[in-house]
């Protein structure tokens, strides 16, 4: 007998409830969210529009507080932005500095979060720009880049600070379908290569199943956990072959059935 106790979850959400003031009273966005997330997992959160997905992510990020309940990274209670977690916003045009080059945008977090020499900052910046495949664009400004490239800059800036957890709020929703596929592959490769823990909010069931090791579906507001589904698909994944697997289709059907039921919709066979 080793005497070792059970392994603590890397991230623990306990009884998360969030209320917002509204005319004539309050609106409950989330009601009793309990989740435990393992280190190194890729967890997608899906659900109907307005169910509280982004609100939940902002609570995990320490950007807003819960009305009740708590978030812990290992033994540390979140009461502000935790140093090991970084947030990638949906609207990359608002998160990048238009007057800074790609290089300066990526190095911004290092210059403001860590005590590093200029040469160390420059070396890490070059490394991360290479990882997101933007070598050659270091001196470009955001307005000179495509939408997908701008989102790569936003991801690179987060990764430069070497986070343990990457929190992503519908990060690909503003780009076209082919660019979205490229960004999905980029994030999956970075997750595996860097050993990140990723919490990924998306409205796209297929995206959630393809990317993740686990998908959590919330109900309509007030959001609660309706489905917590482990995704056991082989690696590496392929945009065509993986999506054709029967297991992938089963996961997709399970999640869509929950979303349809929540919206009062019924899937019908076509004769």
75 in a structural domain: no
**Whether 157 and 199 share a structural domain:** no
pLDDT for 268 equals 54
Specify the number of domains making up the chain: 2
**Whether 116 and 247 share a structural domain:** no
pLDDT for 267 equals 54
pLDDT for 114 equals 61
pLDDT for 98 equals 93
Cα–Cα distance, 155 to 152 (Å, whole number): 5
121 in a structural domain: yes
17 in a structural domain: no
pLDDT for 38 equals 95
**Whether 57 and 190 share a structural domain:** yes
3 in a structural domain: no
Do residues 114 and 161 make contact, with C-beta atoms less than 8 angstroms apart? Answer: yes
**Whether 158 and 192 share a structural domain:** no
4 in a structural domain: no
The segments of the chain whose pLDDT lies below 50 read 1-6, 269-271
**Whether 174 and 233 share a structural domain:** yes
Where among 162, 177, 196 does a domain terminate? 162
Where among 107, 134, 162 does a domain terminate? 162
**Whether 151 and 177 share a structural domain:** no
Give the Å distances, CA to CA, from 136 to 75, 101, 132, 218, 238: 42, 12, 12, 42, 28
53 in a structural domain: yes
pLDDT tens for each residue of 142-193: 999 999 999 999 999 999 989 999 999 999 888 889 999 999 999 999 999 9
**Whether 154 and 173 share a structural domain:** no
Question: Would you give the end-to-end CA distance of the chain in angstroms?
Answer: 61
Q: What is the DSSP string of 165-198?
A: EEEEESTTTTS-HHHHHHHHHHHHHHHHHHT-EE
pLDDT for 271 equals 39
Query: How many CB atoms sit inside 10 A of residue 53's CB?
Result: 25
* DSSP E strands, 38-115: 42-46, 68-73, 76-77, 85-88
**Whether 156 and 227 share a structural domain:** no
Cα–Cα distance, 145 to 125 (Å, whole number): 18
237 in a structural domain: yes
pLDDT for 28 equals 93
Where among 112, 132, 162 does a domain terminate? 162
Query: Order of strands, edge to edge, in the sheet holding 11-22?
Result: 25-37, 11-22, 68-73, 76-77
**Whether 111 and 191 share a structural domain:** no
20 in a structural domain: no
pLDDT for 270 equals 39
Domain extent at residue 123:
94-162
């Amino acid at each position: 007998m080793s005497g070792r106790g059970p392994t603590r979850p890397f991230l623990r959400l306990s009884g998360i409830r969030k209320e917002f003031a509204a005319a004539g009273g309050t609106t409950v966005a989330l009601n009793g969210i309990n989740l435990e997330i393992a280190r190194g997992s890729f967890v997608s959160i899906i659900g109907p529009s307005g169910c509280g997905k982004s609100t939940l992510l902002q609570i995990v990020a320490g950007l807003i507080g819960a009305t009740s309940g708590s978030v812990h990274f290992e033994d540390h209670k979140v009461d502000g932005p935790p140093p090991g977690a970084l947030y990638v916003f949906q609207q990359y045009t608002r998160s990048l500095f238009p007057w800074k080059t790609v290089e300066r945008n990526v190095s911004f977090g290092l210059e403001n979060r860590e005590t590093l020499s200029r040469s160390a900052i420059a070396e890490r910046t070059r490394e991360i720009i290479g990882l997101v495949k933007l070598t050659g664009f270091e001196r470009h400004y955001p307005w000179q880049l495509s939408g997908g490239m701008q989102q790569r800059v936003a991801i690179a800036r987060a990764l430069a600070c070497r986070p343990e957890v990457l929190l992503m709020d519908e990060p690909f929703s503003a780009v076209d379908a082919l660019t979205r596929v490229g960004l999905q592959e980029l994030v999956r490769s970075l997750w595996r290569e860097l050993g990140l823990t990723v919490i990924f909010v998306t409205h796209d069931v297929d995206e959630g199943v393809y990317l993740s090791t686990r998908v959590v579906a919330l109900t309509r507001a007030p959001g609660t956990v309706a489905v917590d589904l482990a995704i056991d698909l082989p690696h590496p994944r392929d945009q065509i072959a993986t999506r054709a697997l029967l297991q992938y289709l089963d996961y997709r059907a399970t999640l869509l059935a929950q979303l349809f039921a929540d919206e009062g919709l019924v899937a019908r066979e076509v004769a």
